Structure 1
Amino acid sequence: MTPFLVIVALAVALPWAAVPAARRLAGLLPPREASWALTGAAVLLAGGTVAALVGLFHVPFLAALEHLPLERVAADWPAVVPVSGAAGALLAAQALRLALVARRRRALLSRAWRLTGEGTAEGDVLVVPGEEAEAFALPRHRGRRARVVVSEGMLKALGPSERAVLFAHERAHLHGRHHVLSAVVDLAAAVHPALARLGSALEFHLERWADEAAAAAVGDRRLAAAAIARAALADSAGAGGHGAGVRGAGVRGAGVRGRRFLSVSTGPVPRRVQALLEPEPAGPRGRGPRAAAAGLLAAVAVSALLTLGLPYGLHEYVEHTVRAIVGP
């Protein structure tokens, strides 16, 4: 039974080793590819963890398919019931966390839409009253189309060309459905705690993706960098205020695990501005990206092999138990 337990243990522990490789690879890729790499890694690693726990939980039931009494199975492997029960408890906890994360995100979105009810629509832009400088992408919800939410205070803080950058940035979030990628990684983190570190990395790369889209839309990387810096400064200057905007009502800071809506002011702004002052990022080159990609692919491949090996391990366990009890 030891090889089977080793397979399960590796499948559950592997994300701790794979997450650093995924973050390293993302740092060497252009923003869009980095975002997809992080999301894909989160899904695959979370899936491997769930598969391992499901396999472990089903050991007694598979033995029952061979018409073996649980007492006889437990005599051959005394830990079968505690281990299976622990796997079931972890699966139940994961299901509960998934439900809570999904509910929290839906509640946050509903609250944001309620608090922007007094806004004035101008195309896909929703201007909300308030002196606080804030802007963010608000995904569609219950039949209401997605909007770029911007406060009157933010519009006053930016010039016409800078507003164009701001709108292009938030539209890139909506058109790229970045909120979906963010939700996927949040849900994956509810399955395995190691995957929570992918969330902060994804947030940064999603903002960089939108930054590059805004720079391409206005055709001026320096203008985009200046606009993002000015919007972030205006946003932070009003962070302690008590205006009537969305943040004043407590929504901007009420995201899952404290995460805000995707916004031009989210993430390490100095790094984003510096990236815009440099040439447009190209595809990965050199040994560094190849090594990081190889490390991540190896971790994901091992996770997939371990997951695929679970049915074989379970089958071998049942066959071993049958031989031990009834003879060859």
Structure 2
Amino acid sequence: MTFVLLLVVPALLFPWAAGTGARRLAQVLPPRAACWVLSSAAVLLAAGTVSVLVALFHVPFLASLEQLPLTRVLKVWPAAVPVACAAGAVLLVQLVLLVRRWLQHRSLLRRAWLAADGGTGDGDLLVLPGRDVDAFALPGYRGRRGRVVITSGMVRSLKARERAVLLAHERAHLAGRHHLLSAVVDLASVVHPALRGLRDALAFHLERWADEEAAAVTGDRRLAAAAIARAALAGPSHGRTGGYPLLSATSGPVPQRVEALLGPEPGSPRGSARRAGAAALAVTVIAAAMAALALAYGLHEYVEHAARQLLGKPRGDADLWSTLDALLGSRA
């Protein structure tokens, strides 16, 4: 039992430490790299958590798989069934929440496309009539390619050059398929509560990524900053279009985004010490995420080793149960 705990507890606690490290790393990386670090960390940590729960869930079923009396196994590890039931319950809840979140995504996307049907435009641009002030990137749906949706109210709120910045921002979301990264991390956050912080951090860095793309297209960082600020002030204060699957230039912490646009371009040389620090932090985050997966894999291998030991000895052998006892570490 001691050995199992040594594998399980760190694997379930790693996401808290690794998630914090990933967010700190994202702060010193260019937006694009930050998004990939956060997305990768979320997937690895969620996979490690699920792997541990699956391993715990099937431990007590070794007896039935090997046609051994479960009662004898419980003498060695009395907590096997309660632990498996708890792991199974958590997995079931996670599955229900994942399906529910996915259905919410699809429902929101479907409603957005129904609303966009009333728009007019050409190419990838749709303009919706009305006084609402809004703009967002609408991902592809059921064979339809993605569109940039902007309301007449937003068009009237911005100057011509500012509208170009806004369109470049939303097109960057579509070209980079940012909605997929957002969806993956949003779903991963259901698996472990520590990953919710990664979801919020990713939302900010996705907007920063699109901000930098818009600044590069227009060639004027100050214009980009002014356009984002004006669009946010004119847009909905309640953030109706923020988050997956409708990524909007008016969402997220706009003051920090504007401040970043008024500064130097990300990725420009700022000293070897900072680059070395970012590299060290990246190694730490990746190592933490991989360690969670390694611990989960180790638990699976541990269980399979126990099964092989059981198969390798005759059932009447007096050493059979001492072997299982040693493998589970209940006497440690």
TM-score strictly above 0.5 = yes
1:272 corresponds to 2:261: no
Partner of 2:227: 227
Partner of 1:21: 21
1:263 corresponds to 2:252: no
Partner of 2:38: 38
Partner of 2:138: 138
SS across alignment from 1:58: helix
1:290 corresponds to 2:279: yes
The TM-score with structure 2 as length reference comes to 0.89
Instruction: Report if the CA contact (8 A) 2:52-2:296 is conserved.
Output: yes
- CA shift for structure 1 position 119: 0.8
- Which runs of no fewer than 5 residues in structure 2 stay unpaired? 324-332
Partner of 2:160: 160
Determine the C-alpha separation between the residues in 2 that align with 1:37 and 1:106.
Answer: 26
Determine the C-alpha separation between the residues in 1 that align with 2:91 and 2:319.
Answer: 30
- CA shift for structure 1 position 279: 1.4
Determine the C-alpha separation between the residues in 2 that align with 1:268 and 1:326.
Answer: 60
Partner of 2:327: none
Letter in 1 for 2:249: V
Determine the C-alpha separation between the residues in 2 that align with 1:95 and 1:196.
Answer: 17
Alignment of 1:158-237 (within 5 A): 158-236=158-236
1:82 corresponds to 2:82: yes
Partner of 1:300: 289
Percentage of pairs with the same residue = 56
Letter in 2 for 1:173: H
Partner of 2:7: 7
- CA shift for structure 1 position 300: 1.4
Instruction: Report if the CA contact (8 A) 1:4-1:314 is conserved.
Output: no
- CA shift for structure 1 position 130: 1.3
SS across alignment from 2:67: coil
- Which runs of no fewer than 5 residues in structure 1 stay unpaired? 241-246
The TM-score with structure 1 as length reference comes to 0.90
Change (3 A) 1:160 1:12: same
- CA shift for structure 1 position 316: 4.4
Q: Deviations over 1:144-167 (max 9, x none)?
A: 221101000100011111111010
1:252 corresponds to 2:237: no
Instruction: Report if the CA contact (8 A) 1:172-1:214 is conserved.
Output: yes
Determine the C-alpha separation between the residues in 2 that align with 1:216 and 1:264.
Answer: 16
Number of residue pairs matched by the alignment: 313
- CA shift for structure 1 position 317: 4.2
- CA shift for structure 1 position 128: 0.3
SS across alignment from 1:121: coil
Instruction: Report if the CA contact (8 A) 1:29-1:283 is conserved.
Output: no
Partner of 2:326: none
- Runs of 4+ in structure 1 off by over 6 angstroms are 319-323
Q: Deviations over 1:74-132 (max 9, x none)?
A: 11111111111111111111111110110000000011111222111222111001112
Change (3 A) 1:283 1:4: farther
Determine the C-alpha separation between the residues in 1 that align with 2:215 and 2:160.
Answer: 15
